[in-house]
Chains A and B, each alone.
Chain A
Amino acid sequence: MQSDNEEKLIEQLKRRDTQAMAAMYDRFKRLVFSVIFQSVRDQAIAEDLTQETFWRVWNRIQSFDAAKGKLEPWIATIARNRAVDYLRSSRNAPQYSLETIEANARFFSVESPAKQLETERLVSRALSSLSPAQREVIELTHFQGFTQTEIAEYLKRPLGTIKGTIRSALKVLRESMQAESA
């Protein structure tokens, strides 16, 4: 069964139509797998976590408001959080609740696919423009779930240096997105 649009797909999933999961999987498999793989860098683990991510989506779809936001950022956030949960438990790092991050991810403005692609392109370009040290800290915070303190310990660099690097990297990313929305 194929859903013609996202709203219809959400309605089918809310009716607990398991067949709609096939459409959901086909639409978001690359995004979910890619976000998770970016975090864990292990294909077998990424496959397991992809499976678990779709199960989370199924469990949480019931009250998703299609008028409020898009599925894609919400699902990307769920995938990231599942990967970070895994990584944190693997390295015995403190566990944090990531549920509201997922809940808040629905507040994306419902932008057109073209604009969405343009924003992603600008962010990709901004990421490419980061220095190796800046990219490293973004990787560690966004995809590995490291805190500033953990990064300083992991990289054996002063905490102040790490904070400065994170701050400058985030500024570049923020400005790239704000330039697009301006």
Chain B
Amino acid sequence: MSCEDLSGFYELYALGVLDGAEYDELEEHLNRNCRTCMKEIIRAVQENATVLRSVPKLDPPAELRSRVLAGFGIETRPFWLRAAPWCVAGAALAVLLIGVASQQRQKTPDILNARAVQFLNAPGVRQFSFGGQGTAPHGSVLVSREKGVMLIVGNLPAAPAGKMYETWIIPRAGAPRPTGKLVVGEDGALVGLIAGPVDPEHIKAVAVSLEPAAASPVTPTLVVFAAATE
């Protein structure tokens, strides 16, 4: 299918409801970094949100305000705080992507986000955040049994002259395995470490080290950060 053939399906993909042959075709376009499709997906996300905002507005019941704010300790002790740990677990990637993109404000976020959309549409993908705010590198590792491992990182300064960032898989057993140079391009710091399939249970962490540009490292020289995946 051409991009034109897929033009009716970007919104569904962005909503997470595309399936069948069109899903496979769109995935194929994204796998070959089709810029048209990547841009269209971002457009579709935005247009979907406009549709959501156009719903007829209803006022919630007045008593809901105290219920909601009680959860933040404003009026009563939070009673459902402990009952919603999934909220905390689910927050990581959205926060991360926003953080990464903020580091790339002058650059187009399309590819970074479209690739992440594609990766996250894979079944059973797991995400692990690392780092925090401030000047330290921070980001997320996405692990998919089917698609492999993707690292998204922000706040990573340019490598010094003569050096490059190298990515590593740290297995549960055995020595760290170099998996390629970290690509910090116009579209953000993003690298597919391993094309799937992988066994997530065998991966303990993903690390980035600083290495001499001309060398092919066997062990990490200077570890910049490591992100646990367990």
Q: Is the CB of B72 within 8 A of A64?
A: no
Query: How distant is B203 from chain A, measured CB to nearest CB, in Å?
Result: 19
Interface residue tally on B, bucketed by range? 35 or more
A interface residues, tally (CB under 8 Å): 78
Complex Cα–Cα for A145 and B60 (A): 23
Q: Indicate with 1 or 0, residue by residue over B43-71, a CB within 8 angstroms of chain A CB atoms.
A: 00111111111111111110011011101
> In chain A, what residue has the closest Cβ to B118?
A100
Complex Cα–Cα for A37 and B52 (A): 11
Q: Specify which of A38, A55, A76, A84 is in contact with B49 (CB 8 Å cutoff).
A: A76
Q: Is the CB of A31 within 8 A of B53?
A: yes
Does any Cβ of B come within 8 Å of A133's Cβ? no
Q: Specify which of A33, A68, A141 is in contact with B17 (CB 8 Å cutoff).
A: A141
Q: Specify which of B64, B65, B74, B98 is in contact with A18 (CB 8 Å cutoff).
A: B74
Q: Is the CB of A54 within 8 A of B71?
A: yes
Query: How distant is B58 from chain A, measured CB to nearest CB, in Å?
Result: 5
For the A-B complex, the count of residue pairs with Cβ-Cβ distances under 8 Å equals: 221
Known contacts A141-B15, A148-B19; is A34 also within 8 Å of B69 by CB?
A: no
Q: Is the CB of A30 within 8 A of B52?
A: no
**Chain A residues within an 8 Å CB radius of B102:** 63, 65, 68
Q: Is the CB of A124 within 8 A of B80?
A: no
Q: Is the CB of B67 within 8 A of A97?
A: no
**Chain A residues within an 8 Å CB radius of B105:** 65, 67-68
Q: Is the CB of B64 within 8 A of A50?
A: yes
Complex Cα–Cα for A157 and B109 (A): 39
User: Majority SS of interface residues in chain A?
Assistant: helix
Q: Is the CB of A99 within 8 A of B93?
A: yes
Q: Is the CB of B90 within 8 A of A56?
A: yes
Q: Is the CB of B97 within 8 A of A35?
A: no
Does any Cβ of A come within 8 Å of B167's Cβ? no
Query: How distant is B41 from chain A, measured CB to nearest CB, in Å?
Result: 8
Q: Is the CB of A18 within 8 A of B49?
A: no
Does any Cβ of A come within 8 Å of B179's Cβ? no
List chain B positions with a Cβ less than 8 A from chain A. Answer: 8-9, 11-12, 14-20, 22, 42, 45-61, 64-65, 67-69, 71-74, 80, 84, 87-88, 90-91, 93-99, 101-102, 105, 109, 113, 116-117, 120-121, 123, 125, 127, 133
12 sampled A-B residue pairs with Cβ under 8 A:
A21-B69, A60-B94, A63-B133, A68-B98, A77-B48, A97-B120, A100-B113, A103-B93, A104-B45, A145-B15, A147-B17, A148-B18
